[in-house]
Amino acid sequence: MQKPLNGIKIIEIGSTIAAASASKQFTDFGAEVIKIELLNGGEIRRTPPFFQDIPNLETGAFHIALDTGKKSIVIDHLSNSGKEIITRICNDAQLVIIDLPVTESKKILNLLNKESGPSTVAISPHGLEGPYSNRIENEMSIFAWTTRMERHGHDGSEPLRYGPHVATIQIGATAAAVGLSIVWGHEHDGIRRDVDLSSVEALAGNVDTGYVDWVLLGTQRKSGMGRNTDNYPIGNYKCKDGYVMFAATLGPQFARLCEAIGHPELINDSRFNDPIEKSKHFEDFMEYLDPWLSNRTKKEVFKEMQQYRVMVAPVVNMSEVTDDEQAIARNSFVEIEHSQIGKTIIHGPPFKIEDSWEALPPPDFGSSTIEILTKLKYSKEEQIALFKIGAIR
């Protein structure tokens, strides 16, 4: 079966995790993605962890996972010769995804033909215009600007961030979604579009935004300190071999949980069936729940609770999820052959379409430079000259 994005050409510029995660959604579904890499390899190749903890441009986990199936050309994007190459590469593309400092992005974007050139998605911390447009940020400071860090902090303690690069990949997912939309739009109406994607805006309006609460109620949603002891059980609870996550606070869910742990009498217990009284008796309830959990593994808790239709899930790590029977049945993790480390496992497709997805190995640094330049009609003599002056590697 033909992959859904066959025939589409995408150019990725910037060597960032956000740009790489965006363009991955195209290459794995059949698009040709040319990765224009920085001379030093950029963020995506220099971010740990690395295979055997040895720094290497080819063996970083984020590069292996997010650069699958792409072509790599290394260009000095600041040089005049480099800009000329970039212009020629982009001429017949449908989309350019760029994530560079704003002044550099603008110079590249100005090279592209505004009539017949590709559509563009420009990723930057605060957008291409405005008083903050030239500010340099990192993932943590971007997250702080969105209000999400403040709202994820516990009362009385410091604000909290997500795990490293989770927010950045979410920015990339936003870029991929809008990128595919404007490619589809161009196919249908012939109009090219330029998207100015602010990372702060992409995160602030996504998933757990508290703006609606603030606008309507004047309140700011915030995490509680540790376990929720007012309305329970919700959140993570320790069991025999780790943790499980419950969401069983309300009437039917709470009642079924009481039955599952062998204490149906708690359903009508005045300590737990009145919201105000329930908030006073968390420790009393844990005298029933804790012993039941401490004698069962995560999987045992999950299976027994599922029989009573209680909302619960095991908190698993990567070694557990790759061996999970559901993940195996759906081929949620796939094996690829890496040029230096051999066979390795990466995550599979984000959704299933029959025979439409394939994760090919990530490219070695600059492995397609000569191929691409030759296709652009650069002679061998010109390629040598470009290499000599440092415009390519």
Taking only the tens place, the pLDDT of each residue in 88-141 is: 999 999 999 999 999 999 999 999 998 899 999 999 999 999 999 999 999 999
Can you tell me the mean pLDDT for 12-38?
97
pLDDT at 155: 63
φ, ψ of residue 199 in degrees (nearest 5): -60, -40
Per-residue pLDDT band for 309 (boundaries 50, 70, 90) equals very high
What's the pLDDT tens digit per position in 134-168?
999 999 999 999 888 877 766 667 888 888 999 99
**Per-position DSSP letters for 117-173, written without gaps between them:** S-EEEEEESS-SSSTTTT----HHHHHHHTTHHHHHSBTTS-----STTHHHHHHHH
> Which pair of tokens denotes residue 157?
């303690």
DSSP result, 97-121: EE-S-HHHHHHHHHHS-TTTS-EEE
CA torsion 192→196→197→201, rounded to 10°?
A: -130
Comparing 332 with 84, which gets the higher pLDDT? 84
Per-residue pLDDT band at 224 (split at 50, 70, 90): low
Structural domains in the chain, sorted by start = 9-208+330-388 (3.40.50.10540), 234-316 (3.30.1540.10)
The secondary element (H helix, E strand) that includes residue 343 is strand 342-347
Of 27-41, 284-298, 313-327, the least confident = 313-327
> What's the confidence (pLDDT) of residue 33?
98
Average pLDDT across the chain, whole number:
92
Measured distance CA(33)–CA(180) in Å, rounded: 13
Strand order, beta sheet including 194-198: 71-74, 32-37, 9-13, 95-98, 119-124, 194-198
Residues near 107 by Cβ (< 8 Å), separated by ≥ 6? 83
Phi, psi angle pair for 120, to nearest 5°: -135, 150
Work out the pLDDT band at 226, boundaries 50, 70, 90: low
Please tell me the distance from the alpha carbon of residue 167 to that of residue 393, in angstroms, as a whole number: 31
d(CA 100, CA 36): 12
Structure token digits, residue 344 = 């390795």
Q: Is the pLDDT of residue 37 over 70?
A: yes
What pLDDT score was predicted for residue 141?
A: 95
User: Between helices 166-189 and 17-27, what is the axis angle to 10°?
Assistant: 50
Evaluate whether 10 touches 22 at the Cβ level (below 8 Å): no
CB 192 within 8 A of CB 118: yes
Name the pTM for this structure.
0.88
Helices (H), the chain: 17-27, 42-46, 61-66, 80-90, 102-111, 139-145, 148-152, 166-189, 199-204, 211-217, 251-260, 275-278, 282-294, 298-307, 318-321, 325-329, 369-375, 380-388
Mean pLDDT value of segment 185-212 = 88
What pLDDT was estimated at residue 207? 61
Q: Closest Cα to residue 345, out of 85, 55, 11, 61?
A: 61
Please state whether beta strands 71-74 and 333-338 pair in parallel, antiparallel, or not at all (unpaired).
Answer: unpaired
Check residue 58 and give its pLDDT: 98
- What's the rounded Cα separation, in Å, for the pair 25 and 168? 15
